[in-house]
Structures are given as C-alpha cells and as structure tokens.
Structure 1
Amino acid sequence: MYRLLIVDDEPVLRSGLAELIEWSTYNIQVVGTSRDGIEALELLQRTQPHIVLTDVQMPRMNGIELSHKIREFSSEIQIVFISGFDELEYLRNALQVKAVDYILKPLKHTDLETVLIEVLKRLDETMEKQTSKQLMEQKLSKSLSLLQTKQMQELVKNDGSEFVDWQEQLDLLELHFPIEGLFLMFIISVDNPADTLGLLAGSDQKLITTRMKQECERLIKPYAVSHYYFESGFGEYTCVMHYQDANHLESFIERIDLLKQTINGITQLCVSIGVGETFGCIDLIRENYHIIVNAVRQKLYYGKNSTIYAGKLAITEASSVIPSESEIEKLMFTIKQDGLASEQMYQTIEELFQRLRLNKQLSPEDCRRMGLRIILDASAPYTLLHSEMIQRWEKSFWQKISSLDILEDMKEAVYSYLSQLYTAILSGPSNRHYKTVSQLKQIIQHKYDKKLTIEDLAKETYLAPNYLSTLFKQETGVTINEYLMRVRVEKAKEIILDTNKRIVDISLAVGYADPAYFTKVFKRYTGMSPSDFKNKIKP
C-alpha cells in the first residue's frame, strides 16, 4: 500500500482531503497531515511517504521550497501541488522539481481522481523497475558467487600448465587478496559424504552447506584480514585466509577443533579438516591445495573427525605393509575350516585391516577393493545354495562400501555383511545342511590323526556317503578329502613350528602312515616340502 502525506495550512482542507476519497480503494493510506513545509519535513523522515499532496502558499515554508527539500531527500516521491489561479505562473516555473501535476482550487473529486490515476501509474512503474532491479542485482550476486566458486575450483585444481595473471583473476572475482602476504589454506571434508550428505534432499544439502559456511566464516573473521570460502567438491569445502601475523594464525589454529564440534552440532555430520602450511604468495594456492587434499584423504587411516596437518605427515613404504596373498588365503582357509562364526576369522580380518591401516599410501579405492575381495571369497563356499541372496547382498555391499572413505567403517561393513550372511544361513532352508557340515568339520578337527574315510564320516553323521560328499562340496566349495588334507597340513605346520620331531613322526601324528605321500600333500598346499618349510621358518 502506498503512503500519502497531506500538507496544507487550512485545517478544514487538510481534514477534507483526508476524507474526500476512499483512499484504500486506490491502495493508498494517509500516513500524516501537516500545516506547513517545516512540519512536513519532520513527518517525511518518520513516515517515508510515496506521495506528497501539498499546497503552494503556506507560512514558514511554502510548497515550492518543500518540494526542493523533498527532492534532496528522494527522487522517487510523487509530488502533487494544490494551487489557486493567481499562482499558476509561479507554479509552472517550479515544476522543474518534476512534480506529477497540480490541482486547482477549489478541489474537485474528478480532478483529484485524474491526478491520482497518473500518480499510481508512475508509482507502479517505479516499483516495477525497483523490483526488476533488485531481482537483477540478486541474479548478478548469485552469478558472481557461482562464477567465483567455478573459477576458484579451476584455479586450485588446474595442473598449472597455463599462465595465470593472479591480479587479473582476483579483480575479476572481486576477491580482496594481495598478491603477496601471509596465507593459510584448509579443507573441510565431510566424512563418508556419499553415505551421509548424499542421502539428504537437495534443499537439506544446501541448508547444511550454508550453515557450515556461516560457522566457518564466523570463526575466521576475527583472525583474517580477508578470506574466501568455496565448495571445491561434493562434501569438500576449501577456505583461503589472508592473515595479519603469526599470533592471529596461532589463535585460529587453536579453534580448529571447535569448528569441527560446531559443525557436528548443527549438521549432525562428522567432518575432518586438512590444514596446510603458511605460504607467502597467492600463486602458490594451487600447489598448497593439492598438498592439503592428499593430507585430508589420510582420514582413511586416522578415522572420523580428524584434524590432519599437511606438514606433519610421515611418509611410509607401501610395499612392506600391503596384505600378502598368503594372508588372504589364511583368512579363506579359516572360513572354510571353521565357518562364518569363527572368532579366528574376525581376528584375521582385523589383522588384514591393521596392515592396511599401517599403509599411508593406499587409496580409498584400494581399501574398498580389499573389503570386496574378502566378502567375495568368504561368500564363495555358500554360493551354490544361496546364490540369489548372495548376489543381491554382494551388490548391496559394494554400494555401501563405495560410499565410505574411512577404513574403520569399511571394516565394520565387512563384519556386518559376514554377520548377516551367517544369520541368514542359520535361519534359511538349508540350516540343517549347514549344521551337518559344521558337525562334520568338528569330527575332522578331532580325528584328523586317525585313518578317516568318507564311509566312516557318513556313519558318524547318519548319512549316505555319496549324499554327504555332495552336501559338503555344495556348502564349502571343497571336497571332504581336500578339507581333511588342509586340516592335516595346517596341523603339521604347527608341529614343525613348535617341536623338533622328525618328518616321519610328524606324518604319523597327522594321520599319514606313508611319509612320502605326506610330503607330496604338504608340498601341494604350501609350495615346499616339510623339510624346506622347516629350514625356512626355523633356520
């Protein structure tokens, strides 16, 4: 609704004007009346009118003087004069103040209505222009923000093969950074962003991004001369600070953990922060960005909510800590020997991930593939009887682990998968078969040193030999004889490591009367003879 101020020294005319027209029908509200220009100026500041309807002749300050004062105040206020015939020449000279029109006394409703229509037309046009201008400014501001983000992403991620005029870039982006000074860069990285931030609706993601920016800038402001914060990737936010001196920097660094806690409190997301070292020239921003990206990726090993300082990372040799094929085979043998409920299985998985944890050079992709390798091999013995379920679960597992960038979470995903698989097998239609195979494994574990035939084992389980052989192969992926040989070889290795018995005695101890045949079986599974194994392990 447009606001109207009436100025006239005649009380009757002032009140008459206020009541002459149903102003609300014109979307107009009378916000005040005054008896002269001086009084009107006081009301002007307080009421901010869109229209001033003023007499020409008034004491103290007339309408012409008032209109000049109004124009000093605003060029948008619509001025309409009220005048008599003897004032027309004087009034025409005063229309340089861009008044809308004038109305002659005595006032007529039709004259006032005609002028009002013109006033409202001008006001509507003015409001439309202002709205359009505001929208344009908002679009330009948004476009500039998007341009700044896009350009900064390109600047920090580019390989540096092209020359960059940094002063030109800073001016273009309206970033108030000097070319040289004291700079610090850090990256906020959402932990497991695909599994957390990625599950939220787009509007919620935008809200969280905005809140994180607000909290980050609130923390930075007291310590930075200038700064720029931008989204450098999904779930990754980069900030460049230009600070004044070392004291300001130290004070800011001390509050990094507070920033993590604050973000967690307002977004319920865990974040890790990679902090770079100070640099003295803005053209080093690209080099520092890549250093910090590599640092923050170390959260893979450090875990959630980590603060990682790029200058304090130690370099390790990758080759010495990658899990070996024999360690993987050990896990698979444990699963085939003792099943998915084996405590040794979980201990072996922990050892494998511990090896990965020691390696600070593997990528998240390498670790995810190791997790997938474990569950594929662990599921293999049960694929024949549970193929549809396992295929569905393996696909779900890969989707899950692909969304993780923390090693501990990857290990928990492996544990969860194997636990669910074990539960499903026990509760599934083949539960009876699973129990039979478990019983058979226990018999072999206790009687491996005896002469065991499939017929003997069939009697123990009250099943036909052929049926038992088929069932065991379906459940475990290996034959009964292969399983028995592996158990005997593992027991033989333990005896070799723990005692100084002769090969012939070891052969008898694990159920082989013929030492030559025992040697042949041992070599098939270990790649070396019992003597070579003993000499290698116990020189």
Structure 2
Amino acid sequence: MYKVLIVDDESLIRKNIEFSIDYEHLPLTVCGLAKNGLEASELVISQDPDIIITDIKMPVMDGIALIHELKENNIEKKVIVISGYDDYEYLRPALTYGSVDYICKPLDPQELNRALLTAVGELNREREAQRREESMTAQIEQNRAYLLEHFFTEIAQDRLRSQEEIRQTLDLFHIRSLASGYMCFAIGCDSASDMSALDFNCFVLSLRELFSNEYTGYDVFFAQNDADLLCGVIASEHPLREVELGDAVAERSERILQFLTDSNHISVTMGLSGVHSSEADLPEAFREAATTLHDRFYQSASPVRCYTEVFSSHTSTQLSLLDIEKKILQSISSSDYTLASANTGLFFDLLFSSGQFQRHTQHLALRGLILHLEEFIYESGISGKRILGLLDDVRQKSASPEHMFVTKQNLDDLILEIIRSISANRNEKYKDIIQRVLRYLQENYASDIGLNDAAEQVQLTPSYLSSLFKQYYGKSFLQCLTNLRIEEAKRLLKDPEQKIADIAVKCGFSNSKYFDKIFKKQSGYTPTEFRLKKPE
C-alpha cells in the first residue's frame, strides 16, 4: 500500500481529489490533507507519503516552492501537479524535479487515476529494484568473510593482478581503509619439525582470533598461500603517518607471535611489507611480505621482520636486482633485445651465482620478474599462440622453490617474442596513422596547412609525427606535402586553359614566384617550360 498526500488551498477540491482516487484498483491510501506547501512539507516529514498530489498557486507556500524544497533536501517523491493551462510556463522550472506529472484543471478523475497508475508502476519497479539490491547485499554480507578471504588469496597467490578488478571488488565491499595506510603480512614456522607437529587448523584459528583481539581500530583481511601458515592485510581505519603505522603493526604483531611461541613451544616469524596506501600496490605488498619472511640473509632478534629493515641491511644486492629488472623492462619497451638479454644475464648471475640468496628468495625474485613480464604483455595488448606458450612454459618451470628450471635462454626467447609482437603492433598502428595523415594532406593540400595541423589531426606531437614520416618514407613531412602539391600542379598544367598563378593557389602556394622556384627544384623545369614540354 502506498501513501498519498493531497495539497490544495480549497477544501472542496481536496475532498474531490480524495474521492476521485480509484481505491478498488490502486493500492493507495490518503495519509494527509494540506492547504498549502508549508503544511505539506511538515506532513512529508511526519507521514512520509509516496505520492504528493498538489496544486500550484497557494498562499504561504505554493506548489513550486514545495517541489523546490523536496529537491533541495533530496526527498524523492512522486509528484502529480493539478493546475490550469495558463500555469504551464509557471510550472516549467518544477518539471526538472525527476518525478513530476502534470494534469490540467478541471479535474478529470480518469486522468488523475491514469497519473496515479503511472506513479504506482514506478514505485513498484523501484521497490522491486530495492528488494533485489537488499537481497544481493544480504547475500554478500552473509558470505563477506569467505568472499574477502578468497579475493585477497587470489592476490596473494598472484592470480589476480587487474587493478580495475581489485578496485571494483574493494568498492563492492565498501573497503575504504586501505587509503589510510596498510601493510601485508606473512607468517611461517621456522622449522619443518615445528610445522609437522602443529594441529594446523586449530593453530590458524588461534591466529585469527589473536589478530581480531589485538588489532582493534584496524581492518584485518586474511588470505592463504601455499608456502606460509597465514598471510593477509592490516589496514588502519584512520590515517596514520607511515612510521606510526609501521611501529604500531610491528608492536602488536610481536605480542601475537610471542604468545604463540610461549603457548605452542614453536618458533614463528612474521614478514611485513612496507607501508602502502594504494590498492594498486596490493600484489607488490604481498610479495614484499613473503620476500621478507623467507629471506634468511637478514637476521633479527625480533620474530617480526619489516621489509624496509631487511632492505636497508643489504640494499646493494636486493636493490640491484630491482634495478636490473627495471632495465630489462625498459629494454623491452625500446625494442632493444641485445640490451634486454645482457640484463637478463646480469639478473641470473646475481640471483643464482652470487651465493647471497636462499632458494625461496630466488624463487620469489624470479617469479616477480616473470610476473612483470606477464603484466607487460597484458598492458601492451599483445597475444598469440607462441608468446602465450612461452609465457606458460616459464611459469611452469618456476612453479615452486623446489622446481625452478627456468634458464636464461627461456626468458630470452620470451623477451624476443614480446619485442617482435610489440614491433608488429607498432608498425600496424603507425601505418594507420600515416595513412590518416596522407588522406588529410590529399584533402587539404590546397589550404595553408603544415606539420602542426597534421599532428593535431592524429593527436601526436609535431616532432613525433615528423620522425614517423622519416621512418616510413625516408623524407620529411614537408617534402611529402611538397611532392603532393607539385604532382597535382603537373596534372593541372596539362590544361592550357588554366593560368599558372591560379594553379599555384589551387596547389597551396600563395606566392607564384615561390611556386616557380619549388616547381623547378622538384621537376627540373619552370611551370611554363613544363607546360610547353612535349609529353614523353
């Protein structure tokens, strides 16, 4: 049942409207009668009607002011205005309110009920849409913990890297705390014997409960990966400085791990990522946490290892790996296979031959490089059986720390195929750009156009377009345009009726002397000599 509020300054008209409603066929009940907009606005608050039937011209507050007040206060109601034909122009501003219908005086009960039927139909659709949304929200909330853990597990295990999908999922669950600052964590046993002695499920349940109790004022999202007991994200509900968040998380985590060690008589370590505030960094933050946990190069008295501390203790080796990885990707971007291959060699030498990294860290670093190559392929929009086959091959050959069979040659083959695909895509793209520019020149050579005009047509910088012309034709943009104009001039000169000065203008030369000079330079003849020359 929907509630109707009737607003008119004449009591008789209010009653007439009330008695004209088809209650038998419409699910309506009158919840109030008001003699002006002010009374109506009070009843809107107290009675919350679904439909308002109102006159326009009333004392104290008229119908226009009432509709304006609804709009200003974001109060969504179905409004039916009853007024005279001569009030339409006066009413026009109110029609911008989304749900206004208009019927003319004198009141026709059939027309009124048609308008009410339309309003009821809209309300039914809105109520059904709201019901579906609430049902979906309830289902999501019911499964929220499971769905969120699955979502963060996908990221932790490198199966979800799409920034758009990550952002959409966080929006769906109304997760805003990551922007205030977050750290990823990974927890593992320090020995295989400790791990085998654990009642795994009970231990993980205890961990979750400890986190929930210790991290009040924080959002904690759990995830799973194959290598560790538990991993996840710790996010502050309120903005904190990076140092404050890092210290707070480390302090709370130490208390948790100390309790676990004392109560279970096992040695447990936690790796923490750096502090991040962008959801786009989630995959990288999970990798930082895992790398910090498993990198035994760094020794600490604390069971909690922070990524920034680990890196500051052996910056020269770890950062050089990242530097080399960046150089590999930069070399691919510039299509320099020789340099990319050389950097791949440096990467392998440092990672596997220097003796500075344990096998798990080697695996994480190698998987990180492969992941960035995969992201590069995806972002570049390249595909094909061979490139996807090579990518799948290196992924399988780096599946786990115990099964790393990727060679430098495997990566070189993949990189070469990436560069070939990028070059092919670029050539096709640039070919299309050049053809568009040529069409523009053919259609506009008679006008005063230049490199800047053509570059604007294809949304490139003039210098870049100029380099493309040199690359494709071995000549400058101006030379191409001049050749086009001179060839057209030659064609027009075959018509003896056309004056040479007119031909110059038609071909884009405003100065006939300049035209003569350029024509002779291009053809070896002046325009007059060319016209008199016998056809070959």
Which band: TM-score by shorter chain? 0.3 to 0.5
Structure having the higher Rg: 1
Greater relative CO, 1 or 2 (CA 8 Å, sep 6+) = 1
